[in-house]
């Protein structure tokens, strides 16, 4: 609800303030039917903000039956008048094929319109289209450009993708230090993929001094989110004694957890370390596993 209001609050001055405010007041009270009626009148009169909001209401089924095709109709009317939110949302509809045929070129067109007006998620999505070559020729430099703009606005997904591109040298010179910087920014936003890759960089000493304790710290943050590869790598850290006291029981615990989360090699690793453990140690490991799972992987 707060997001819905925030998106359009800054645009109220561009339209009939009083009439739009009535609709927004109804939205704040979750009286979507009344809000829909208010915006419907304004949209029919050509107000782009009301048209954009009406598109959202049809998309979400708020105050009316959910209708993707009609959402696209209203988004298009607003987008053609320069409404940035409608341009972004229309790009999403074309990309997802909701209410219209799936069309990456149309998505690219509307994402570009919104991205050029500074919409961070449009910049991120546009970067993805260039990175994957969807709706356009693959262009890593353009992907770097748009991901950077989104990353600088704090979009963790963009920060992570940008880090991967610097780590892999795609669209730019390979630069592990810059990769570390962007992995860190996304990891600090609790982005599990980035936490895992940042841990790898510390474990391997790429872009930074090798630091096993930092690696364990970031692996654990990702592991707490159920990230099975991080859970598996924690098993290796404990069995090797890297950054921690060597502990087969904890290695067994993390591999057992990773196996339960579908990691292909974890079960084999668990069974291998188990062959070196006493029955008492195995029992301890199983108890640790149960305790860790019951705590949802926290403080394990």
Is residue 147 domain-resident? no
Question: What is the structure's pLDDT at 3?
Answer: 37
Question: What is the structure's pLDDT at 213?
Answer: 97
Is residue 249 domain-resident? no
Q: Domain count of the chain? A: 1
Is residue 70 domain-resident? yes
What CATH number has the domain bearing residue 55?
Answer: 1.25.40.10
Burial 129-163 (b: 16+ CB within 10 A, else e): bbbeeebbeebbebbbbbbbbbbeeebbbbbbbbb
Which residues of the chain fall short of a pLDDT of 50? 1-15
Is residue 277 domain-resident? no
Calculate the CA dihedral of residues 263, 264, 265, 269 and round it to 10 degrees: 70
Is residue 200 domain-resident? no
Tokens of 150: 């989104």
Question: What is the structure's pLDDT at 200?
Answer: 98
Burial 241-262 (b: 16+ CB within 10 A, else e): ebbeeebbbbbbbbbbbbbebe
C-alpha pair distances (Å), 290 with each of 122, 161, 246, 250, 293: 43, 35, 21, 12, 5
Confidence (pTM): 0.89
Q: Hey, is 242 helix, strand or coil?
A: coil
Question: What is the structure's pLDDT at 16?
Answer: 64
Is residue 51 domain-resident? yes
Is residue 185 domain-resident? no
Question: What is the structure's pLDDT at 15?
Answer: 45
Tokens of 80: 């053609």
Domain enclosing residue 52, as ranges: 1-96
In angstroms, the CA 98 to CA 41 distance is 25
Is residue 166 domain-resident? no
């Amino acid at each position: 609800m707060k997001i819905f209001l925030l998106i359009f609050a800054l645009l109220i001055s561009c339209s009939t303030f009083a009439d739009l405010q009535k609709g927004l007041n109804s939205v704040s009270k979750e009286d979507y039917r009344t809000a829909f009626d208010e915006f419907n009148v304004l949209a029919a009169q050509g107000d782009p903000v009301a048209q954009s909001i009406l598109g959202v209401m049809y998309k979400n089924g708020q105050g009316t039956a959910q209708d993707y095709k009609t959402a696209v109709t209203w988004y298009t009317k607003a987008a053609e008048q320069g409404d940035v939110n409608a341009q972004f949302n229309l790009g999403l509809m074309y990309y997802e094929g909701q209410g219209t045929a799936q069309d990456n070129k149309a998505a690219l067109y509307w994402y570009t319109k919104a991205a050029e007006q500074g919409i961070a998620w449009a910049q991120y999505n546009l970067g993805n289209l260039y990175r994957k070559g969807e709706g356009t020729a693959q262009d890593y430099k353009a992907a770097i450009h748009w991901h950077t703009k989104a990353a600088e606005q704090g979009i963790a997904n963009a920060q992570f993708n940008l880090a991967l591109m610097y780590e892999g040298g795609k669209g730019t010179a390979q630069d592990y230090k810059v990769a570390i910087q962007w992995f860190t920014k996304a990891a600090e936003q609790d982005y599990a993929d980035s936490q895992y890759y940042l841990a790898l960089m510390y474990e391997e000493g790429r872009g930074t001094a090798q630091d096993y304790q930092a690696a364990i710290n970031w692996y654990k943050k990702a592991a707490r989110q159920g990230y099975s590869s991080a859970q598996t790598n924690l098993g290796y850290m404990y069995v090797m004694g890297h950054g921690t006291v060597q502990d087969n029981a904890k290695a067994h615990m993390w591999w057992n957890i990773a196996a339960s989360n579908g990691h292909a090699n974890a079960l084999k690793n668990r069974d291998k370390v188990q062959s070196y453990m006493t029955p008492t140690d195995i029992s301890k490991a199983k108890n640790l596993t149960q305790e860790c799972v019951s705590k949802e992987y926290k403080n394990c």
